[in-house]
Structure 1
Amino acid sequence: MMQRLNFLEPVLSLLGNNLDVLPAVGGAVEDLLQPDIDELEDMLINAESREVTEFLETPAPNSRDIYRPTPPIFRAQKHLYRYFIDGSLRSYYLATGVEGNRSFPIELAQIGAAVMERDDQGRVRPLARRQRILLLLPKGQLGVSDTLWRQIKQLDIPDGSFEVIDTTERNVNTPQEPTPESLRTRAGGIARNRMHRLEIEMIGDTDGLRNKDAWLILDGAVKLDQFIKTPHMIGVAKNFRKDPEFRFGRGAGKRLDITKILAGLPYASRTVAFSAHGGQVAFWYVRLREQKEVDYPLMGVVKVELPRPDRTPVDAELADLISQTLVAERNVTPYGRDNRWHCHLYPIFQAEQAIKNGFYSRDVLMGMIRWPKLQFAPSDIP
C-alpha cells in the first residue's frame, strides 16, 4: 500500500521546490462534509427544475389526486433490483501554497465508487470497485503558473488512479466564477463531481446484466454534467431540495410546495410522476416509513428519478412496480450506524462501506506527505 502511494513524492517535491509551502498542522486536516451536501447538490444539478408544472405519467394524472398506493412487493415475489451503485470521498487540506503574490489551498481527495450485486438469496457482494486519488489546486491567476502546471500534469498516472485537478474548473458542482475565498470549497465540489463521474463510469460494469427483470439503483440523480440514458436504471436520492413549487390545474392556478405534498403522502405510497428537464427525466417521491416512525414528515421519503431520453411519459404500472419493490427495500436498515437510516437502502449503504474500507487510512496518507522543506516560517511574513 505504501509503495502504491510513492507517486505522491514527485508531485510534492515539485511543488515544494517551486512554491513557498505552509503545511497544515499535523500534515493534513480532513474536510468534514456538510450535513446537507446532497440537498445542496440536488439544487445545483436540478437548478432549472424549481418550478414543476407538468406531469410525466400515463394515463395522465388528475391534479386533485396525486398519490398512488404502492404496497411492498418483496424479493421473494419479484426480485427487481439486483445492482446498486454508490460513491464516497474523503478530502484533506494539505497546505497553503504561495507563488508570487498569490496564495491558495492545496488539497488531496480520495474518491471511490462500487457496484454491488445481490443474488436471489439476498447475499450482496461487490461486483466492481474503483478508487482514485486527486491533488486539487488552482492554476492561472488564482494559483500556480502555467509553466509549473504543465510540469505537474506530467505526473498524472495514465490509468487515472492519480490526477492533478484545477480547482478553478467550472462544472455542475462549481458553477460560479472562482474567487480566492472560494477555492477550498470548490475543491470539495470538484472532488464530488469526479466521484459522480466515477459512479457513472461504473454503470458500464452492469451492461449486459441489466434487463426488465434486473434493474440498477444509482444513488442520487440521473443527471450530472449530462443526462444518463441507461435503461433499466433509477436514481434514488436520500436527500433532495426542499424548495420546488408545484403548479397544476387550469392556468397553473393550483400551487403546492413540497412540504405540503410530502406531509400528505401516506406510507407505502408514491406521488404521481412529474416532469423535469423538458421531459428528459420523470421523478416522483415514495414514502418508505410511517410518519409516526420518524421525527418529521420529510423523513422516510426518497426521490426517484427515471431517465426518459425519448421524453415519453412513464407508464403508471411501471412507476407502481418501481415504487412497490422500492418500499420493500426498507426492511433492512443501517439504524444506529448512519443517521440517514430512515431513507437509506441497505445495499447502497454496503456499497459505501466497501468503498470506505478500501480508502487509505489517514496515517498511511500522512506518512507519504513529506514536503521537501518549509521555504519560510510564518514569523517571516511581514
Structure 2
Amino acid sequence: MPTLNEIFYRRKITLYHNENLDLDHYYQEPYQDQGDEIKEMDEPYETDKLRKKRRINLNFEDRQYSSFSYFMDGSRRTYKIGDMVLNGREIFPVVVAQVRAGCTERNQSRKIQSHQAVYRKNLLLLSSRMNEVDFEEIRQRIIKTEVARNLNLEVVQYKFDHQKDNVPVNAAIAKANTIMHSMEIDILESMVHSGALEPDQMLIVDGPLQFIRQDTGKPDFADLFYNVVGVSKSFDPMLPTSGKARRGGTQIGAELLKLEHGERTPVFLKINSRGRKFGCWYLRIRPKDRVSNPLEGIVKLEKMALVEDEEGLHSSVVDNISLSILNEGSPTCYGRDERWSSHLYPVYLTEALIKSSFESDLVFINNFKRDFR
C-alpha cells in the first residue's frame, strides 16, 4: 500500500506534504476578465455608431420580459497539498482540485430547476517541468489505485510561465479553470445538438466568454454560441479605453462612473487568437443610491459576433439583451452573497446548486493523506 510520497520517490522525486492550503481563500480572486484586451474602443462595434452611453427604456409592461431560459456556471475548489522537488533544484507545488459545471433551466412556471446532472471532475495537478517519462509513470500508478478510482481522479500537468504567472500555484489554478470551461463547452454542445437550446431561448454564462479563446478545433464552434451571453460580475476598471490610455489616457472605470441605472456603454470590439470577433459592453443594473461603491451594480456583457455582423452587433439586439438583464436583476440575493449588486438571481441559484455537489474540504483533502492502494 504505497503512499503518494512513495509513488513519487520511485521516480526519484521527493514530495513534501505540508499544511494543506485552501488556495481559493489564500489568494484573492482575480477580476473575471483578468488579462482581457479590447481591440477597439474608439469606434462602437454596433450598428448605431454614436460614441455615447445609451439608455434602455424599461417600461412597466416590460418588467416580466426576459429572453433568457438557461443559466450556466462553473465552479472549482483548489488546494495545495505539498511541494515536489525536481532535479534536486526546483520546487513546484502539488495542487488538487474539485471542478464542477452545470446548467439550470427556467421552466414554464418561472421556477429555476436543474437542466441536467452537474458535470464533475477531481484533479491532481503537477508541474510540466517534470519529464514525460516520470509524469506518465506517476500518472499511471496513481490512477490505478483504489483512492483514485473512488475519486475518479485525473492527473494533469500545469505550465508555469514566469511572464504570465506570479507564482506556480496561479498556473495550477488557471489549468483547473481551463478544464472547468471545457466542461461548460461540453454541456453547451450537448444542449445545442439535442435541440434543447431553441432559437428563441438564450443562455447566460457566468463570467466572460474567455474560454472561447481556447482553440477547440470544433468546426461548428460559432453555432454553439449563437444564443449565449457572458455576464461578468467583476471586471478590471483600469482597462484602457484606447491605445493612448496606456500612456496616461482614460480608463474604463472613469467612464463607467457616468452610467446611471438602465444605461449602457457602446459596444466594444474584442478579437481572440483565432480571429473570432466579440462585442462587449457594460450595463448598470442597480441605482447608484442602492450600492456602497460607485462601480458596484454594473455588469460586463459579451456576445460572439456572427458572420453577417460586419458593422458590429445590431444595436436592437444589444438593447434587447440589456433589457433582459435588467429584468433578471429582480429578485436579488441581498444578504446571501456580498456580490449581490452584480449577481443575477438565477445565476446565484445555479451557482448554489453546483457548489452543493462539492465534497467538504476536509473529506476531499484527507483522501490524499491515505495509502494509495
- TM over 0.5, shorter chain: yes
> Distance in 2 between the 1:35 and 1:21 partners?
23
Residue 94 in structure 1 maps to residue 77 in structure 2: no
Residue 300 in structure 1 maps to residue 297 in structure 2: yes
> 1:76-125: CA deviations, max 9, x gaps?
74341110111111111111223441332111011111101111322111
| 1:307 positional shift | 0.3
Per mean C-alpha deviation after superposition, the further-off stretch among 316-325 and 258-267 is: 258-267
Q: Is the 8 A contact 1:79 1:120 kept in 2?
A: no
Residues 1:13 and 1:168: Cα distance change in structure 2 (over 3 Å): same
Residue 264 (structure 2) aligned to one of 261, 267, 270: 270
> 1:304-356: CA deviations, max 9, x gaps?
10100425322121111111111011112221221110000112112211121
| 1:295 positional shift | 1.5
User: SS of the residue aligned with 2:302?
Assistant: strand
| 1:251 corresponding residue in structure 2 | none
User: SS of the residue aligned with 1:314?
Assistant: coil
CA RMSD across the alignment:
3.1
| 1:50 positional shift | 6.5
Per mean C-alpha deviation after superposition, the further-off stretch among 347-356 and 309-318 is: 309-318
| 2:154 corresponding residue in structure 1 | 163
Q: Is the 8 A contact 1:16 1:372 kept in 2?
A: no
Residue 15 in structure 1 maps to residue 3 in structure 2: no
User: SS of the residue aligned with 2:78?
Assistant: strand
Mapping of residues 328-343 of structure 1, within 5 Å:
328-343=327-342
User: SS of the residue aligned with 2:325?
Assistant: helix
Residues 1:96 and 1:197: Cα distance change in structure 2 (over 3 Å): same
> Distance in 2 between the 1:318 and 1:9 partners?
59
| 1:246 positional shift | 2.9
> 1:199-226: CA deviations, max 9, x gaps?
2222124211223421000111223233
Residues 1:145 and 1:258: Cα distance change in structure 2 (over 3 Å): closer
Q: Is the 8 A contact 2:4 2:368 kept in 1?
A: no
| 1:325 corresponding residue in structure 2 | 324
Residue 130 (structure 1) aligned to one of 102, 116, 119: 119
> 1:246-266: CA deviations, max 9, x gaps?
359xxxxxx743223212112
Residue 206 in structure 1 maps to residue 191 in structure 2: yes
Per mean C-alpha deviation after superposition, the further-off stretch among 264-273 and 86-95 is: 264-273
Residues 1:118 and 1:11: Cα distance change in structure 2 (over 3 Å): farther
Letter in 1 for 2:132: D
Residue 234 in structure 1 maps to residue 229 in structure 2: yes
> Distance in 2 between the 1:237 and 1:368 partners?
34
> Distance in 1 between the 2:76 and 2:83 partners?
21
| 1:378 corresponding residue in structure 2 | none
> 1:117-137: CA deviations, max 9, x gaps?
111322111112101111011
Could you tell me which runs of 5 or more consecutive residues in structure 1 were left unpaired when the two chains were aligned: 1-7, 249-254, 374-382
Letter in 1 for 2:254: K
Residue 187 in structure 1 maps to residue 208 in structure 2: no
Could you tell me which runs of 5 or more consecutive residues in structure 2 were left unpaired when the two chains were aligned: 216-220, 244-248
Q: Is the 8 A contact 2:43 2:49 kept in 1?
A: no
Q: Is the 8 A contact 1:242 1:258 kept in 2?
A: yes
Residues 1:113 and 1:72: Cα distance change in structure 2 (over 3 Å): farther
Q: Is the 8 A contact 1:267 1:289 kept in 2?
A: yes
| 1:283 positional shift | 1.1
Residues 1:247 and 1:320: Cα distance change in structure 2 (over 3 Å): same
Letter in 1 for 2:77: R
Q: Is the 8 A contact 2:81 2:95 kept in 1?
A: yes
Residues 1:280 and 1:161: Cα distance change in structure 2 (over 3 Å): farther
Residues 1:34 and 1:233: Cα distance change in structure 2 (over 3 Å): farther
Q: Is the 8 A contact 1:84 1:351 kept in 2?
A: yes
Matched length: 343
Mapping of residues 236-255 of structure 1, within 5 Å:
236-247=231-242
| 1:4 corresponding residue in structure 2 | none
> 1:264-306: CA deviations, max 9, x gaps?
1121222222222177101111111000001222110001101
> Distance in 1 between the 2:320 and 2:10 partners?
60
User: SS of the residue aligned with 2:138?
Assistant: helix
Residues 1:85 and 1:35: Cα distance change in structure 2 (over 3 Å): farther
